[in-house]
Each structure stands twice: as structure tokens, then as C-alpha cells.
Structure 1
Amino acid sequence: MTQYLKWMAAVFLAVPGLVFSADGPLSPQEARSSLQVPAGFRATLFAGEPDVVQPMSITFDHRGRMWVVECRSYPSWRPAGTKEGTDRILILEDTNHDGEFDQRTVFFDKGVNFSSIEYGFGGVFVTAIPHLIFIPDANGDDVPDGPAQILLDGFDLMAKHNVANGLTWGPDGWLYGCNGILSNSRIGKPGTPDADRTPMNCGIWRFHPVRQEFEVVAHGTTNPWGLAFDDRGEAFLTNCVIEHVFHVVPGSRFKRMFGQDFNPKTFELMQTCADHIHWAGGTWEGSRDGTGKHGEAGGGHAHSGAMIYLGDQFPAEYRNNLFTLNIHGQRLNRDKLERKGSGYVARHQTDFAPSSDKWFRGVCVKQGPDGIYFTDWSDTGECHNYEEATIHRDNGRIFQVAYGEQRPRAVDFAKLTDRDLIDMLGNRDGFLANHARRVLHERATNHTLTPAAVTQLTQGFASVVASEPHSTKALQWLWTLHAIGELSHARLAENVARIKGIADDTLRGWLVRLTMEASKLSPESQTEMAELARMDASPYVRLQLASGLQRLP
């Protein structure tokens, strides 16, 4: 019996009396029971209808609370200029840490075309097609301080399932997002003349929350609906139809499903970093049911969401694994990311939490304070073919998967001192370290970061590098220094001189990358970088140099 058939049999045996309905979905609790998790793990229903419907995107705030986008607009996106819609933002909190929410707040209930959300800087950022908006809540009372602010416009409203999505914080303090191949967008701040806008369809973009700058990070693929960063700060997108994962290096130009890259003189488009696909060959259309040989290979061609597990609760083999939801295969695909040359290779691992619920349509997966969480749109058919007559808008589920004994993480980062947050940068759990870094960035932006904290970070960095050169702590300190503006022009020469003496090539590469992001690189620094290109044997450092060259005039 194949592995696929074994776990499918286990699902049915584990759920007595489980029956599929041809007319409707399983109940939320039945859907939870249909999930088959490995030994030692447990799945709980964090939330389900009627408490949550159409959960398209989730994120977590500094208190560990979940923020949810309920997208009721799709598939009939509201016309540009629509003032009020029915999309909502919920706040769900699990105060007793049993894996199920027990407090629910409706933060916003008149949303238009909401597709993703990220929390930070005194409010929430939302892709609200054709806009990127910010809904302020500076005092944290869970009530918007005023109307949404439009930060960007020009994302294509006619792209249906290819719209902008996937907001997530990068380690460099920028807000990252995805865009699809049918989304022929021209992006800029409101009022930007068309000639000054940035053209984009499929690929990855980013927005700086303080300077309010926009730029394209990488072009290509098909319809990316997931982006995640590993503990070394490397980005990976997940994709549909063609291969499912690509290593995102700034300036990348990836293989496309169709169409011409924006630079017609590109010598060769970059390929996937995966050594496999999740269907058994042939045309991607033939893998849509996610069963049989396609089920054995991983479930099919369509993927949504991306999470790289950076916690310390799961067994060690799961750390830095990429998880993505296989939409038609009703499961999470799991890839091990291994360094190879200047890049990575993604190797298929045993699929995670397969469901026997034929209505399961996973969309978003995130690491939370006490496990991983993923959303279930709960519908049938092809998500890109939904019509008003067939879509089901009154259901949806969010599941939590945890390992071992529950270990509550009741941390409110806003209440921690600067020193506490700096100490947290060394925590092996990326959920904690990344939130600490973001809060330090916010305090620096609001001018509430103490001079003592800035001194501790700037003067202590060298000792951290000397004592723990290969640690994620050294990287977190570096990213924090960059975010708070302490890798300024005045320090560029110091940074360049420091690079050569660092043992860890990832740290050297990141110093190169952040240095070359400066808008004005002195002739002396350019000379140093040229020497580094000649002398540094690390393929990773050379990759960062090649990437950075695209930023030079």
C-alpha cells in the first residue's frame, strides 16, 4: 500500500461515522477530525463558522492575538471607488491557551476587496484591491482611529484570483507582498502620473512603512499566493501551475507560465529551487482532483500560503521547513530547504495534516505563538472559477496544530523594556525574535527607543559577531540596526571594512546586501565591493554582490 493510501485509510479509521455530504461541507468539528497529524501533534478547531467565514488571510499582533481578513468580495471584486463593502477584519484571542479562540472582536466591517493583512506601526496594512491601505489604531483599543489611508494604488482590479496578496514583514523592515500574472498593474502613490508608476504583473514587491517607498523585488512565476522567510532571512515564494517554490533573490527574473519578462534582454530566466513537483507529470489541468498518482506525488499543482517553521516546539526536523497548502490535495506540502551553492534546493518531505474533507480549501498558513495555524476557505471546485451562483460565503475554518504539552506564550511585546526586546533578539524562536525586532523598529520610528538601547545595539554588535558569528542572534542584531537607521551612510565605510573579518558567509552576505541598498555608495565603498567580489570565495556573498549591482546607477 502506498504512503498516500496508508494515511487516507488512517483518516477514515480515526474518524468513526465520518460521512461526506454531496450537498454541503462537514461541520467545523468534523472537519477538524478529518485532519490526520503525526504522532505527538494535535489539531484543534481554533475558529469556524458562524464565528468566522471566508478566512483569506491571518496574522498575529504583539500580544499573540490573531487578526483575520474575511473576504466576502471574491469572486465579484467591487468596482474602483466603492466606499463600503462587506469584508471584515476580526481579532481572535485564545486567553486560556487551549487552542480555541474565546474572545472575538470585529475591528472593521465595511471592507472592499480585502485579500491580505499585516499588523504593525500602530494599525494594520491591508491589500484592498486596487489599493494598499493602512487602518490606524495608534492607541490599541481595537477601534480604528479614523478612515483608512491609501498608501498605494494601481494594483489591477480585473485580475480576479491573481490580485495582490500575501503581506508579510521581511527581516529588513520592509513590508512584502505578491502579485499574479493576470494583474497588469501600474503601482504608485495616489496621484502619481502614469509615466512615473512602476509596472508589474507576477512577482514579489515591497513597501517601506516609514519612507513609504515601493519597489519590485522579483519578476516572474504565475500566481504567487505565499511568501516566507527562513531564519537566515532568505525569502521563498509559493506558486501555482508551474513549479511551486522559488528562492527570491532581489532582482530575480523567474520562469513564467506565459508572457514576456519586463526586461526582454534577460539572458535566461531563473528556475525553481525545488527538485520535485506535487503532481505526477502531464498537464497541470489533469492533477486538479489531487488523488491517485497525483495524490501520491503531493496533491496537485495549486498552492496557497507559505510558512517556514522557525519555532522550538516542533521536533528539530521541522525547523526551517517550508509549509504550503495544496489546495486540491487537501493537505500541507512540506519541503526541506537546503543550501546548495549560492542558493537552495527544496526537497519534498512527508506531507503534513492531510484532510479527508473534500471541501477543504487551504489558503493561508502562519506560525503563531504556540503552534501553526491555517485557514480553510471550505468550498468545492476550482477557486479561480467561482461565480456568484456557486460560491459558499457562509462557512470557513481556522485550525491550529501544536506539538506536545501546550506551552502558553503570554508575551505582550509592547510592555517589554528596550533591553528585554534586545535580549529577545537572541531567542531561537523566530516568532519571538521577529516580533521583538519589529517593535524596536516601531519605537525608533516613534522616537521612543532610548539612547541607551541604541548604544547597546551599536556598540554590542561587534561582540555578538565575535562570540556568536554563525547565530541567528547576530543576524537579528544586524537587521535591527538596519531597521532603526544605524547602518547609515556615515557607517558604510565601517560596514565594508567589517565584512572581511566575519566568519559567517550569511552575515557577510547580508552586510553586503544592506550596504548596497544605500542610495549613494561612495567610490571607496564601490572599490571595496569590487575587491570583495575578487577575494571572497563564498557563492552566497557573490550572489549578494551580483544582486546588489542592479541597484547601482
Structure 2
Amino acid sequence: QSIYIHSHVETPQGVKRLNGGGIWRFRPETLELEIVCKGFVNPWGHHFDRWGQSFATDGAYGEGINYVFPGSVFVTSPGATRIMSGLNPGSPKHCGLEIVGGGHLPDDWQGSMITNDFRAHRVCRFVVTEDGSGYASRQEVEVIKSSHVAFRPIDVKMGTDGAIYIADWYNPIIQHGEVDFRDERRDHVHGRVWRVTAKGRPTLRTAIAENATVDELLNLLKVSEDWTRLNAKLLLKQHGAEAVLPRLAAWLGSLDAADPNYEHQRLEALWLYECLDSPNAELLAELVKSADHRVRAAAIRTASHWRTRMKAPVVNEYFAAAVRDEHPRVRLEGVRALAEVPSAESAAQALVALDQPMDRFLDFALWQTMRDLQANWLP
């Protein structure tokens, strides 16, 4: 949602409101609608990494890649007294966002974030690495840089062949009204799609068969291509819980604990249970104690989504344990999850995060949680 939009949306859970920019989370089956973050001017790029963490770009502001977590607030949010900055201060506006993954592109490109500087005729690449409870971002050499005034890359996606596809608006004029709408240079007909591949490396064949069985789709949750895993989950959702859940339980039990990707495969299973709106308390209990902090953080996020569907004492215990976790990102997820449990006890539990080192992401998360819970603790 962009800066000039003011939304007042009726849902079964009441009216949800967002003034100015932001990102929503909507569940079609239950019509649940909630705000993930507030702010931005034109948030024209949003993506999840393989561990479920969100990142965004702003096509009308800047600061490169932005790390988005529940309750985060960014520039221009009406009434905001404190905001988060992006990971690349001073960086120009960017449009679209994709995260590189899969077997076609080189290893040193895996996890890179690709976005577009449409004003300067560039397709940009950022390397994002973990930094405490959040991330740090470093811009690398451009994927494409052109002197052609009509090259206007506006969106980017990974294809089923492992290549990068770039949507080029192909227009020398980008302004709203500074140039006459009847100006003959305005091109209403042409546009281009560019395909970027790695020289000397074979492309992939990852398209999912139209008649793929439930078991075949489940096995696709093991592959390295994000596109394939995402669409496999969407197709499994179409099969329905009744057909998928028995096979999912069997698939989960068949996973090899010695596989280096074992924990990620179990996380994919957890997300599929969430996709099917079928909470699995046993799997969740195991993953909140995973040896991998990225899995623990993702599991706490899922627990916050399931908080009204599970026994409150159990879920609240997960949140309290997360705030004491050894890794700051898990602590951040725990702090923000407690904001959804309105009580003075939740505020007290969130403050336990101060017993360990803080950073700017975690500090903002705690500050926001205390504001969210102020009706429960502030005299």
C-alpha cells in the first residue's frame, strides 16, 4: 500500500485501518487481515528468503533493501515518532525485488537480492548477510547498466529455468505530470522482458508436471529452487487438507535426519501445515527448539500466527523462551510475538530481552512492543 492510500477494511474480526504506506498480511480462507509493517512511499518490491524473513524495496524513497519484521515502521508513516532505516542508507529508489536461488546461477550469487533502479537504467544486486537480530546489505556490481534512456527495469523474477527475468517498461519518460500526457515520446505499446543466464552453466527444467501427485509435490519441498517449493505448496493447498495431511505426516517421518537440509525440510512441512490451516503442535514444539536459529525464529513466527488455535500457556511459554534465546533474531521474534498477547505479564517477559546485548533492530522491536502493550502496563 502506497503513501497516499488510507484503508479502512471491514473483516469478520473488525475494521482494520492503515493510513499511508505499509504491507498487509491477508488469509483468504478466514478473511484475517493484519498489518505487517507501516511506512514507505511506494513499496514496490517485497520478498521472503528461504527462512521466511521479509525484505522490501521502495520505488519512491530509497535506502536500498529494507528488513521487514512484524510491527516495523518506516519512513512517512503518519504519526510515527520513531522509524527503522533501510540497510543501504543513501541508496536511490528501487523497484521490484527477487532473491536468487537454485542450481543454475553460481554459488556466490545464492541469496543475492536483485532489484531495479529504473531512473538510472540499472539492475542492481545486493548481498545481504546476517547482522545480529537483523541484516546488513552490500551493493555489488550491477547486473545490467545501460545508457539507453528508454531502459526502465521495473520488476524481476526467477524463472523455472533458473534464469533471471527482468520486466523493462521501455519508456524515456517516467514522470507523473511533468511531461505532457500527449507527448509523442510516451510509448504506450512497447515493453521488453530480458533474460539473464550464467555463461557456461546449463539452465534448469523445474516446471511442475500438471498431473503431479501429492507425494511428488511433497518431494519438491526438498529442492533448492524457491519458485518450485513455493508453487508446490500452492498446488498442495489446492489438493486440500484431507488429501494432503496423511501423506504429509508420512513424508515428514521419512526425512533423513542426517541430511544437511533436514531442518529446512521440516520447516517447509511446518509452513505447509500453516498453508493448509492445520496446526501441528508436535512439530512446532520440536522446531522452536531446533539447533538452527533461523528455524527457531521462523517457528516462533508461526506460533504467533497459531496463538489463538493452540493452548495459550503453551504458546506463551514458547514466546517467553524465545526472548531468552541465545540468538538475537529469535529474541526479536519472541518480543514481537508477545505484543499479540495483551497483558502486563507479556510486557514483563518482553523486557527480559534487555538482559542480553541489544542492537537497533531488537531495540526497535522491544520499543514497539512496549507501546503496543502500554494499555496493560502503563498506569
Q: TM-score, normalised by structure 2?
A: 0.80
Q: CA deviation at 1:474?
A: 3.1
Change (3 A) 1:330 1:342: same
Q: CA deviation at 1:230?
A: 1.5
Q: Which residue of 1 aligns with 2:190?
A: 395
Aligned mate of 1:552, from 329, 334, 341:
341
Q: Which residue of 2 aligns with 1:485?
A: 277
Paired with 2:284 and 2:164, the residues of 1 have a C-alpha distance of: 39
Q: Which residue of 1 aligns with 2:66?
A: 246
Q: Does 1:269 align with 2:83?
A: yes
Paired with 1:402 and 1:510, the residues of 2 have a C-alpha distance of: 32
Q: Which residue of 1 aligns with 2:5?
A: 183
Q: Which runs of 5+ in 2 are unaligned?
A: 343-379
Paired with 2:110 and 2:10, the residues of 1 have a C-alpha distance of: 37
Q: Which residue of 2 aligns with 1:30?
A: none
Partner SS, residue 144 of structure 2: coil
Aligned ranges 1:440-479 → 2 under 5 Å: 440-444=236-240, 447=242, 449-450=243-244, 452-457=246-251, 459-460=253-254, 467-468=259-260, 472-479=264-271
Paired with 2:257 and 2:296, the residues of 1 have a C-alpha distance of: 11
Q: CA deviation at 1:454?
A: 3.0
Q: Which residue of 1 aligns with 2:306?
A: 518
Higher strand share: 1
Change (3 A) 1:387 1:539: farther
Partner SS, residue 365 of structure 1: strand
Partner SS, residue 482 of structure 1: helix
Q: Which residue of 2 aligns with 1:234?
A: 53
Change (3 A) 1:387 1:435: farther
Paired with 1:496 and 1:411, the residues of 2 have a C-alpha distance of: 31
Change (3 A) 1:308 1:536: same
The superposition leaves residues 471-504 of structure 1 with CA deviations (integer Å, 9 ceiling, x where unpaired) of 533332221122123325xx2xx35642454101
Paired with 2:337 and 2:188, the residues of 1 have a C-alpha distance of: 45
Paired with 1:365 and 1:500, the residues of 2 have a C-alpha distance of: 34
Q: Which residue of 2 aligns with 1:430?
A: 226
Q: Which residue of 1 aligns with 2:286?
A: 498
Change (3 A) 1:224 1:464: farther
- Please tell me whether the aligned partners of residues 127 and 139 of structure 2 are also in contact (alpha carbons under 8 angstroms): yes
Identity of aligned residues (%): 25
Q: Which residue of 2 aligns with 1:204?
A: 23
Q: Which has the higher contact order (CA 8 A, sep 6+)?
A: 1
Q: Which residue of 2 aligns with 1:340?
A: 131
Q: Does 1:260 align with 2:78?
A: yes
- Please tell me whether the aligned partners of residues 469 and 503 of structure 1 are also in contact (alpha carbons under 8 angstroms): no
Paired with 2:286 and 2:214, the residues of 1 have a C-alpha distance of: 26
- Please tell me whether the aligned partners of residues 441 and 483 of structure 1 are also in contact (alpha carbons under 8 angstroms): yes
Question: Match of 1:376, as an amino acid?
Answer: D
Change (3 A) 1:338 1:259: closer
Q: CA deviation at 1:468?
A: 4.0
- Please tell me whether the aligned partners of residues 300 and 330 of structure 2 are also in contact (alpha carbons under 8 angstroms): yes
Q: Which residue of 1 aligns with 2:329?
A: 540
Q: CA deviation at 1:312?
A: 1.6
Change (3 A) 1:475 1:450: closer
Q: Which residue of 2 aligns with 1:214?
A: 33
Paired with 1:498 and 1:526, the residues of 2 have a C-alpha distance of: 13
Q: Does 1:311 align with 2:133?
A: no
- Please tell me whether the aligned partners of residues 464 and 474 of structure 1 are also in contact (alpha carbons under 8 angstroms): no
Change (3 A) 1:414 1:340: same
Change (3 A) 1:530 1:330: closer
Paired with 1:530 and 1:471, the residues of 2 have a C-alpha distance of: 20
Question: Match of 2:317, as an amino acid?
Answer: E
Q: Which residue of 2 aligns with 1:150?
A: none
Higher helix share: 2
Paired with 1:503 and 1:358, the residues of 2 have a C-alpha distance of: 51
- Please tell me whether the aligned partners of residues 361 and 376 of structure 1 are also in contact (alpha carbons under 8 angstroms): yes
Question: Match of 1:474, as an amino acid?
Answer: R
Question: Match of 1:513, as an amino acid?
Answer: R
Change (3 A) 1:499 1:400: closer
Aligned mate of 2:144, from 350, 353, 367:
353
- Please tell me whether the aligned partners of residues 379 and 392 of structure 1 are also in contact (alpha carbons under 8 angstroms): yes
The superposition leaves residues 382-410 of structure 1 with CA deviations (integer Å, 9 ceiling, x where unpaired) of 34336532332111111111123553526
Paired with 1:495 and 1:408, the residues of 2 have a C-alpha distance of: 33
Count residues in correspondence. Answer: 335
The superposition leaves residues 351-379 of structure 1 with CA deviations (integer Å, 9 ceiling, x where unpaired) of 11112211111111111112111111111
Paired with 2:306 and 2:332, the residues of 1 have a C-alpha distance of: 18
Q: Which runs of 5+ in 1 are unaligned?
A: 1-178, 279-300
- Please tell me whether the aligned partners of residues 320 and 337 of structure 1 are also in contact (alpha carbons under 8 angstroms): yes
Q: Which residue of 1 aligns with 2:357?
A: none
- Please tell me whether the aligned partners of residues 19 and 78 of structure 2 are also in contact (alpha carbons under 8 angstroms): no
Question: Match of 2:130, as an amino acid?
Answer: R
Paired with 1:435 and 1:209, the residues of 2 have a C-alpha distance of: 17
Question: Match of 1:402, as an amino acid?
Answer: T
Q: CA deviation at 1:217?
A: 0.9
Aligned ranges 1:63-142 → 2 under 5 Å: none
Q: CA deviation at 1:215?
A: 1.9
Q: TM-score, normalised by structure 1?
A: 0.56
Paired with 1:199 and 1:500, the residues of 2 have a C-alpha distance of: 31
Partner SS, residue 336 of structure 1: strand
Paired with 1:466 and 1:511, the residues of 2 have a C-alpha distance of: 21
Change (3 A) 1:413 1:387: farther
Aligned mate of 1:508, from 282, 290, 296:
296
Q: CA deviation at 1:436?
A: 1.3
Partner SS, residue 205 of structure 2: coil
> Which shifted more, 333-342 or 205-214?
205-214
Paired with 1:548 and 1:457, the residues of 2 have a C-alpha distance of: 30
Question: Match of 1:361, as an amino acid?
Answer: R
Q: Which residue of 1 aligns with 2:42?
A: 223
Partner SS, residue 232 of structure 2: helix
Partner SS, residue 382 of structure 1: coil
Q: CA deviation at 1:318?
A: 1.0
Paired with 1:487 and 1:440, the residues of 2 have a C-alpha distance of: 16
Paired with 1:234 and 1:450, the residues of 2 have a C-alpha distance of: 26
